[in-house]
A and B are shown apart, each in its own frame.
Chain A
Amino acid sequence: MSSPRKLKLNVLRYDPRKEGDEPRMVTYELDEAPSMTIFIALNEIRRKQDSSLKFDFVCRAGICGSCGMVINGRPDLACRTLTSQFEDGEITLLPLPAFELIGDLSVDTGKFMRAMSERVESWIHDEEAERRELTVLEEPMDPDTADRIYELDRCIECGCCISACGTARMRPAFLGAAGFMRVARFEADPRDKRTAEGWYDLLGDDDGIFGCMSLMGCEDHCPKDLPHQNRIAYMRRKLVQSR
């Protein structure tokens, strides 16, 4: 068997809680294994080379959204990125910008996403719902409507769209594509009784849907290929019409 390829991982290291620590790039070298992902590579570095290296993985299957990071300049999910796709074997990893840094490649997306959910009131608004008896047949729903809601409900809150967004980088209060997609998801749901007027109150300003500069970094970098461009345009039209 031929000897394995050497991978070179350049990783941003910085621990904001460590006195005197400065952000710096550190290069790690390791042997590539077949089917190796960035998840496997980083764990191997942590176990064998530097036990202080911080990063976040949970499902390691591309469904939980924990491991967003900037991989050779593009925000993406590290767990499902195979090292074999990098021709020269060199991979540069940075933490996602626009989120609070915990350390190295670990950022606090949780706080951001909870605030987003609170801001757009990310739940079904229906005063009748809590009074429904659980023993009776559920309300029927058109099968196509259910499928359409699911399409928009597939966001995994990884934060890649926020990190790829020019407006979010300039304007910290900007809601961003994850928030717009959440609104689009509830707007498509007949169980939610909010009106166009209500959506306008949530989104109808420069920190909301009218702040978007249409750079469409969200559309380009969404690991779930959600229809950001389409839904942002739709919500804009809808909100303009509501006035």
Chain B
Amino acid sequence: MKIALFGNPNTGKSSVFNLLTGLRQHIGNFAGITVEKKSGSFQIDNQQHQLIDFPGVYSIYPRSKDEEVVYKVVSNPKHPDFPDLAMIVVDSSNLERNLLLFTQIYDLKIPIVLVLNMWDLAQKRGVNIDIEQLQSYFPSISIVTTNARIGLGKDRLIQAIKNHQLIAASNLIVEDFKLCELENKKKQEEETRFRYQFLKKVIAEIEIVEKTKTDTLSRKIDKILIHPIFGYLIFSAVLFVIFQFIFSFASIPMDFIDAQTTNFSNFVSNQLPIGLLNDLICQGIIPGIGGVIIFVPQIALLFLFISILEESGYLSRVVFIMDKIMRPFGLNGKSVVPLISSVACAIPGVMATRTIADWKERLITILVAPLMSCSARIPVYTLLIALVIPKQTVLGIFNLQGIVLFGLYFLGLISALLIAIILNLLIKKKEKGFLLLELPSYKMPRWPNVGINVLEKVKIFVIDAGKIILSISIILWALATFGPSGKMENAEKYVRANPSFTQLPEEEQNQKVASARLESSYIGIFGKAIEPAIRPLGYDWKIGISLITSFAAREVFVGSLATIYAVQEDGDENLRLIDRLKAEKNNKNESIFTLASGVSLMIFYVFAMQCMATLAVVRRETNSWKWPLIQVAFMGFMAYFGALFAFNILS
């Protein structure tokens, strides 16, 4: 049986979903629409049931693109996801608003199990519901009380599904109910008003409110968390803790994954016969997969924190206190978390924009998020800073290198906000953005929900973005491995023919060969081809090659330079590489890596969209290649002219 799960936001719908399906969940898309579909399965008496989780909505008439899916599915009985049974989860302490959605689905004659969730909370707040009375209004439905957050009510849910006769309602609230068209808002308003009138009558009969319903504890916590000073201080402290975790702890598993990928690739390489297949697997596919998995720790940690904040109710307060500040930039209070997350990594940042209901505000957030300096830029920044910025103290206490690093981060932030303003002016839309946000009561996070949410985000990334990352990795590998016929072999022969070659240690021989081959590969040829374009920025073709390869991911820049200059990478410090780069001269015997070209490169990396993983995620989240390509274009434009400007000022 196909069972659909509906409910308002903050009703504990996902708790009910997790309660029934546990870990048997998977993510897909709704047919014909690209909204994410979370479904799961469970068995009752050897009978398999499928449960589909729909986005939390207040009404079947959508507020945002995400919410349209509810309307599209329930309005079309032929839709493959049209349910045999609807399970509607409501917050028992706020029946009136929650039952609006219920009455709509009821009138569509879909059989219903009504789940009165948060039963304990309602009782605690003095709200008593006469279930028999409620049942008499809606005889065809089954009613279940649960307390899904603490795992209570699973048996009752299962009983209700098992015993359900699948009868459609006969006494409709709106007689001969027909759904309004999506565009006809006036008619929707009328319908909603009518339903509320009906509900007011019903609620007056079934609900006895003993005490005041106000949640005084939440109100007290809000006094502090929304305070003009403490509110922002606490938010800053929360961010600080999150970053500490992401920066210091994510690097441990990331280094481990990095090392294991290399080990595994070497291991496989030794097992397989030497040849093209070996190269494809060990230099294309395995590092490509490694390049996907390496992001998992950051994504997992970030979503761990976001889920905790969301579950506890704090996240909506962050939106509340940041909304006014973000609005002049065409952004939304909900843009704050994605943008800040992007300082760790733009991928989870872009993925976190889903909560923004307004499409334009969400799009702007997605487009500017990669301008925030992410952690993959750190290896590039540190290498370049060590290379061209002298180690000296400014104004007695400040470390010049540190100031430059801070400046690069700052430049990223400022440019993100400026571009947001520009995009806000450029992107047209018919309707004004709105916030309409619920500030739920504070609760302890429910850990299974947090865990499942983290798992889900990681899965989406690995599967969806992973495909694109892997394909681009393989393409880049092919471009670096193949060249016009015979050229690479000739280059290798030429290097080997050098009389001093055989006296070199084997390692250096291999490096020299690799360097020569890369130079005459397609990527090498591209690097040389773009040299006229990048010479004004102070770069030569060797840097050009690294720019192209680091399109895969920014940190690849360092490894590519090492390959081209035929030096062994030596850990975080990269001392050998730095020495080698410092000695690099052009044909006029001038240093290639000067202050001007070094800063120019840093600026380039602040702006350029050098990350195929982000590109893949933006494509997924905007569901077209249009926006990621626009993003690549404007970021590339900024990178090029920013670098050009910096180089000319400094040289």
B is a partner of A: no
Interface residues of B (CB under 8 A from A): none
Interface residues of A (CB under 8 A from B): none
